[in-house]
Amino acid sequence: MTSYTPKNILITGAAGFIASHVANRLVRSYPDYKIVVLDKLDYCSNLKNLNPSRSAPNFKFVKGDIGSADLVNYLLITESIDTIMHFAAQTHVDNSFGNSFEFTKNNIYGTHVLLEACKVTGQIRRFIHVSTDEVYGETDEDAVVGNHEASQLLPTNPYSATKAGAEMLVMAYGRSYGLPVITTRGNNVYGPNQFPEKLIPKFILLAMRGMQLPIHGDGANVRSYLYCEDVAEAFEVVLHKGEVGHVYNIGTKKERRVTDVAQDICKLFSMDPQSNIKYVENRPFNDQRYFLDDQKLKNLGWAERTTWEEGLKKTMDWYTSNPDWWGDVSGALLPHPRMLMMPGGNEKHFDGSDTRDSESRFVNKSIASQASATNPKGIIPQKAAVKFLIYGRTGWIGGLLGKLCEKDGIQYEYGRGRLENRSQLLSDLQLVKPTHVFNAAGVTGRPNVDWCESHKTETIRTNVVGTLNLADICREQGLLMINFATGCIFEYDAAHPEGSSIGFKEEDTPNFHGSFYSKTKAMVEELLKEYDNVCTLRVRMPISSDLSNPRNFITKISRYNKVVNIPNSMTVLDELLPISIEMAKRNLRGIWNFTNPGVVSHNEILEMYKNYIDPSFKWANFTLEEQAKVIVAARSNNEMDGSKLKTEFPELLSIKESLIKYVFEPNKKT
């Protein structure tokens, strides 16, 4: 049997879940080994995970990205690294369906950079590559023998595909350049310190909050779970006894359905499973079962030590004792989380303090202490730990956003810099340190879009250059930007005729070029598609309950002598602006038609105005041809397809229902 003794080990991703347990174990058990850990501190990493090692003389932490070849080469040489344990990866399957390129970048390119550095320096004696059981694909439900290390790789989702791709690179460098590589493929791992996008910590935190546990599909999917300390011991065995060029499964034959896991957690919290488990929409593809043959690793002397009941109890005790370990995790606790992958997502100091401001820390600790005093099971209320930087203070939407933040107790500040001034924007970000940026600034015209026809350079400067400037800086800083755009970039056509209920979808190409304002908005929207950190919200003909506001669409048309009568999609801000805040918390991205479902015509709105506000109100109609004689730029009329937003927020009302509930009923005078 092989026996290997390392000297200087580089562990990538060591502020994450599994790697932190491995790093702490090696630092504690082998004082003669130097352990250098490299982590970029993404959203699912936390420096506090490494607290047990912080004072050890054989421990060193380096913040950085494995994608930086210069940094990796520098570390290998200056730290005389002879062993690499490569854990760093994006691992959450739900995220991979919505952000697959980020998985390719981290999991494949990052691995390639490490391998190339090993080849160039020529000093590595072991390269342990950490993969996953998911590369095997789905196991037959009736299979009695698990996948062995020579089984075919048949990944079924973007995450597992990138891990399989990384494995191919590792194998190639082993064969072509003689790198001493070893690969591991593990079952699901659970235990303390795990970011709660994963099933067990998510269910525990939801149970602590007294909330329902969401199960994808029918809950019959089967998984195998290993306790983190057992897995850390497995890596210790592979490090010292693993054969170069071999693959080792780290697994258990003790399988559980997802439903069984939820029921066991309900039992620990004395919750009724019938009323506290809910079944939600399944993933685009959800493997039914992963089953491993783990005999090869057992032959090296490793064995699972922790029973399911013991491990689950330890895990529950840890989370109830450390409810604020991860800060605000409301986005991760959704049935289908979409976390924004950001460098520095959860950077913590070794003294246990958060890099957020002291007021946030005080509020969080107060809530935790109240929870422990009043709830013996550790049930705590949800809390907001986000901070918004909002541009567009003097604008209508920007002003309303600030009021909503005040109402909901959300920290926020308005940006002081001009969008076209990059240095001012950077100064704002450094000063405020936001978690999200809202862009509600833009030129719509004074008093309307006709102004833009004679002020084209000013319109370009703000609507195009400024918006791109802010998006680019936010991307550099790893921040999500919620961008309030417009749906006035479409007009009814043969494929989307008026009255057909066929709306323009998010992926449709803009077809309205009648105003310079709309041209700039369509132009910047197309360019923003290249920024994966932007959530574009297409607002149309915005309406609010404030009927005195001159920008309110109802206020406008109620003051006109004549109006056209065309059905249009519209945005009721009282209902949709709170949704924009929730979208930020969920870290949603891409283009969204930000309108209430359905259409409403000018006459229908004015009829409601007459019924609810002013019974004596009268108006007259005129045609589009007549309207064209009194305006400079043409106006957009269209129906937007609201199904994407409605799917994400099923409670969203149709435009007519929303108008009555949020606008006319509160202002009712008749």
Q: Which residues are catalytic?
A: 133-134, 159
Closest by CA to 87, choosing from 64, 111, 104, 63, is 111
Two structure tokens written together for 377: 């099971």
Strand 387-391 with 620-621, pairing: unpaired
Short-list 439, 453, 449, 433, CA closest to 395: 439
Look up residue 74 and give its two tokens. 């520098």
Alpha-helix runs per DSSP H in 194-327:
199-208, 228-241, 258-268, 273-276, 295-298, 308-321
DSSP 109-154: IHHHHHHHHHHHH---SEEEEEEEGGGG-PPPTT-SSPBPTTSPP-
Residues 6+ apart with CB under 8 A from 453: 515, 516, 632, 633
Retrieve residue 662's tokens: 């949020």
SS (H, E, C) 539-552: ECCCECCCCCCCCC
C-alpha 534/C-alpha 193 separation (Å) is 30
192-213 in b/e burial notation, b at 16+ Cβ within 10 A?
A: bbbbbbbbbbbbbbbbbbeebb
Rounded to 5°, angle at Cα 365 from 363 and 368: 110
Q: Which two tokens stand for residue 270?
A: 């004395």
Q: How far apart are CA 104 and CA 300, in angstroms?
A: 33
Residues 670 and 550 sit within 8 Å (Cβ to Cβ): no
Identify whether the C-beta of residue 250 lies closer than 8 Å to the C-beta of residue 294. Answer: yes
Among the listed residues 193, 197, 188, 189, the one whose alpha carbon sits nearest the alpha carbon of residue 52: 193
List of residues 6+ apart from 530 with CB closer than 8 A: none
Terminal C-alpha separation, the chain: 90
Q: How far apart are CA 53 and CA 91, in angstroms?
A: 24
Q: How far is CA 513 from the centre of its chain?
A: 34
- Percentages helix, strand, coil for the chain (3-state, rounded to 5) are 40, 15, 45
Helices (H), 243-395: 258-268, 273-276, 295-298, 308-321, 358-374
Q: Judge if the upstream peptide bond of residue 447 is cis by omega within 30 degrees of 0.
A: yes
The token pair at 35 is 């352990």
